[in-house]
């Protein structure tokens, strides 16, 4: 059956390519006018809930979304085989994170309509643009507000109901020569879940005010999300526990960006406050107050690029992030952590120097370093260096080699959990993690196809992982620290035809470690696909119909904690119909987990069953 599913996907792709072989082409992938949150995936809306910033990453070739129940409910975001805490997030000039646990790094209570498509930073780009992330980072920008909007509603399997509304408004009058605009969004979702005790109820409210002109944009944002999710063995398995997580996340952010000239020079600065209230229950039938947490984070920073000469430019950044936690489980005690608040600072400077080789070729030399410091640990200097060959003619557009370092401090769940008892055993002595990334990559264009390819070797030192030995009486997840070597290859291919858009991705990973004792397995650092293939297909069928399909085939690294299925095909299919007599009205039918495959994206966490929805969206 597995081979039949793979063969059917390959056959569908080959038929699409053959049918479109003589059709006009364009240079870039452009999906339909339906709201697009990412050009790398086909289905822009999920089935199980309303769209969140995580939705655009579900089938992203460079990102592995490891969901519990459904991606928008709770997800760990992994890049290049890193753990859920090795990935950073930012919006505008600001890195945004949760100090309690990396499980909540992606809890961004922002409507995707207010954001740009995500940019995935790895290697040198991650070291220059990311923060507190050793494997990779996801960067969003604030979108320009327009006089547009939509309302949508859908229902489906397991008593699913989801609704969302978004509206943007721009004023005819200008303030200090800049356009005043505002947008707002509200979204709601509920379902019984595809498995028993897998129910959820999510609500999100957003509002934003914007001042903008041709070269600058200032955004003031406020967002709130209330999220209740239930799932068996959500975090603490393998005890067949009926767990729940109840989150309320508030984000207030201010960001200003101004662009100088046509050379890419800019300055961007901002500040934010994020609060996350979390109540976790191991057994919903017997709730208690053992796992109640509140985290507060305040951050501010700036970044930019400035041309010094015609051939030389400087990139720079600096910021400060202060956090604190109030928790019934994560506090200071002899068998727990040493502190419950922390301030971190960062700064970086990087020079780009361009050497012209001839009329069509140039060499760009990049060098610099980041400085990271904290009042709770020592500081670190992380160098970055890259040499890139750029070409205007020929198939090869860019060839580069780079070396980059990055550092990260552990979160409070790892630091302050009781080291002697409980489901999650912490280690108050965990230190700073560091990564060293060596990389060779190329961007090419052949016959209207574009390719981005990279080979990398990452050396993680003192990486924090969670381990488990099921043979030990009273076994628990234990925070451990060790060294991991990762060798990887990744490639993304794109092409747009007249009626079809294609995005294919492939990645291969291999790892070694020095910290797992016999009989002990890793929940996160060794929860990765050895081989992963993604395929996003958008077909404009005519007469107002459009089909969108996302696919993922993965051969998972063997892990004794996973109960079955190391090889899996996961597919999401959507059929959309633009009603010709009602401009802006689109009807949809969607299916997630099309093949109804059981797969534990996180070991010991049951995967969801097939889900479907029928919906309508009216846009103006």
Hey, is 352 helix, strand or coil? strand
- Is the separation of the CB atoms in 184 and 206 below 8 Å? yes
All domains of the chain in start order, with CATH: 2-170+180-190+201-237+244-284+295-619 (2.40.170.20)
* Cα(241)–Cα(230) distance, integer angstroms: 10
- pLDDT of res. 275: 98
Candidates 498, 547, 501; CA nearest to 29 is: 501
Averaged pLDDT in 10-residue chunks for the chain of 620 residues: 48 40 34 69 95 96 96 96 96 97 96 97 98 97 96 98 98 93 98 97 98 97 98 89 97 97 92 98 93 98 96 98 98 96 98 96 98 96 98 96 98 96 93 98 96 98 92 81 98 96 98 92 94 97 96 94 91 97 96 96 94 97
- pLDDT of res. 208: 98
Residue 608 has which token pair?
């969801």
- Is the separation of the CB atoms in 269 and 110 below 8 Å? no
* Cα(91)–Cα(108) distance, integer angstroms: 10
- Is the separation of the CB atoms in 122 and 61 below 8 Å? no
Residue 220 has which token pair?
């003031």
H-run or E-run covering 505? strand 500-513
- pLDDT of res. 15: 35
Q: Which residues of 144-167 are buried (b: 16+ CB within 10 A; e: fewer)?
A: ebeebbbebebebbbebebbbbbb
* Cα(188)–Cα(72) distance, integer angstroms: 12
* Cα(152)–Cα(576) distance, integer angstroms: 13
* Cα(191)–Cα(603) distance, integer angstroms: 24
**Ordered DSSP codes for 206-233:** EEEEEEE-SSEEEEEEEEEEEEEEEEET
* Cα(96)–Cα(119) distance, integer angstroms: 15
**Ordered DSSP codes for 440-485:** EEEEEEETTEEEEEEEEEEEEEEEEEEEE-TTSTT--EEEEEEEEE
- pLDDT of res. 36: 84
Q: Torsion over CA of 79, 538, 589 and 111, rounded to 10 degrees?
A: 50
What 8-state DSSP symbol labels residue 29?
Answer: -
Cis peptide before 238 (omega within 30 of 0): yes
User: What does the pLDDT look like over 3-41, one tens digit per residue?
Assistant: 445 444 443 444 343 334 333 333 333 333 457 899 999
| 114 φ/ψ angles, rounded to the nearest 5 degrees | -90, -5
Hey, is 17 helix, strand or coil? helix
- pLDDT of res. 239: 85
Q: According to the 3-state scheme, what is the secondary structure of 373-387?
A: EECCEEEEEEEEEEE
Taking the CA of residue 152 as centre, how many other CA atoms within 13 Å lie in the half-sphere pointing to its CB?
31
Beta bridge partners of 370: 348, 382
Beta bridge partners of 304: 267, 316
Strands (E), 543-566: 545-556
Taking the CA of residue 322 as centre, how many other CA atoms within 13 Å lie in the half-sphere pointing to its CB?
4
- pLDDT of res. 34: 54
- Is the separation of the CB atoms in 204 and 187 below 8 Å? yes
Candidates 204, 27, 55, 47; CA nearest to 118 is: 55
């Amino acid at each position: 059956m597995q081979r039949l599913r793979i063969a059917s996907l390959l056959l569908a792709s080959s038929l699409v390519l053959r049918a479109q072989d003589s059709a006009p082409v364009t240079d870039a992938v452009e999906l339909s006018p339906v709201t697009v949150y990412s050009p790398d995936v086909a289905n822009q809306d999920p089935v199980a809930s309303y769209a969140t910033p995580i939705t655009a990453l579900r089938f992203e070739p460079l990102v592995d979304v490891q969901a519990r129940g459904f991606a928008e409910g709770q997800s760990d975001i992994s890049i290049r085989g890193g753990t859920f805490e090795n990935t950073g997030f930012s919006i505008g000039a600001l890195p945004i994170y949760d100090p309690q646990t990396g499980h909540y790094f992606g809890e961004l209570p922002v409507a995707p309509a207010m954001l740009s498509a995500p940019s995935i930073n790895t290697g040198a780009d991650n070291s220059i643009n990311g923060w507190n992330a050793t494997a990779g980072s996801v960067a969003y920008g604030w979108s320009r507000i327009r006089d547009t909007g939509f309302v949508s509603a859908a229902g489906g399997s397991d008593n699913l109901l989801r609704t969302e509304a978004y509206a943007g408004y721009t004023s005819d009058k200008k303030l200090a020569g800049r356009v005043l605009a505002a947008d707002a969004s509200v979204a709601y979702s509920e379902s019984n879940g595809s498995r028993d005790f897998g129910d959820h109820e999510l609500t999100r409210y957003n509002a934003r005010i914007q001042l903008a002109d041709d070269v600058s944009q200032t955004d003031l944002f406020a967002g709130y999300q209330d999220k209740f999710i239930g799932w068996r063995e959500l975090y603490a398995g393998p005890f067949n526990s009926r767990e729940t997580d109840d989150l309320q996340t508030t984000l207030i952010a201010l960001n200003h960006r101004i662009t100088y000239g046509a050379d890419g020079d800019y300055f961007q600065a901002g500040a934010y406050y994020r609060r996350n209230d979390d109540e976790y229950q191991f057994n919903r039938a017997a709730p208690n107050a053992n796992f109640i947490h509140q985290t507060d984070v305040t951050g501010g920073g700036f970044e930019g690029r400035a041309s010094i000469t015609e051939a030389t430019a400087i990139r720079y950044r600096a910021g400060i992030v202060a956090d604190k936690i109030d928790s019934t489980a994560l506090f200071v005690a002899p068998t727990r952590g040493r502190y419950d608040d922390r301030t971190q600072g960062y700064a970086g400077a990087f020079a780009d120097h361009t050497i012209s080789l001839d009329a069509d070729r140039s060499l760009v030399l990049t060098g610099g370093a980041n400085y990271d410091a904290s009042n709770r640990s020592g500081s670190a200097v992380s160098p970055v260096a890259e040499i890139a060959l750029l070409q205007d003619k020929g198939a090869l557009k860019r060839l580069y080699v780079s070396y980059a370092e990055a550092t990260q401090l552990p979160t409070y769940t790892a630091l302050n959990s009781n080291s002697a008892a409980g489901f999650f055993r912490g280690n108050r002595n965990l230190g700073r993690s560091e990564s060293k990334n060596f990389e060779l990559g190329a961007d090419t264009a052949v016959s209207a196809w574009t390719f981005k390819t990279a080979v990398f070797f990452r050396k993680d030192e003192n990486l924090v992982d969670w381990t488990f030995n099921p043979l030990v009486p009273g076994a628990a997840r234990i925070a451990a620290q060790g060294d991991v070597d990762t060798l990887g290859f990744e490639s993304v291919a794109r092409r747009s035809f007249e009626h079809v858009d294609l995005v294919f991705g492939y990645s291969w990973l291999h790892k070694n470690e020095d910290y797992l004792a016999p009989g002990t397995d890793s929940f996160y650092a060794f929860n990765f696909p050895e081989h992963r293939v993604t395929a996003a297909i958008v077909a404009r069928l005519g007469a107002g119909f459009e089909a969108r399909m996302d696919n993922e085939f993965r051969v998972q690294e063997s892990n004794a904690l996973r109960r079955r299925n190391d090889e899996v095909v996961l597919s999401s299919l959507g059929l959309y119909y633009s009603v010709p007599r009602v401009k802006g009205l689109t009807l949809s039918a969607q299916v997630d987990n099309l093949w109804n495959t059981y797969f534990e994206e996180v070991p010991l966490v049951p995967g969801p069953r097939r889900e479907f929805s029928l919906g309508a969206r009216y846009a103006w």
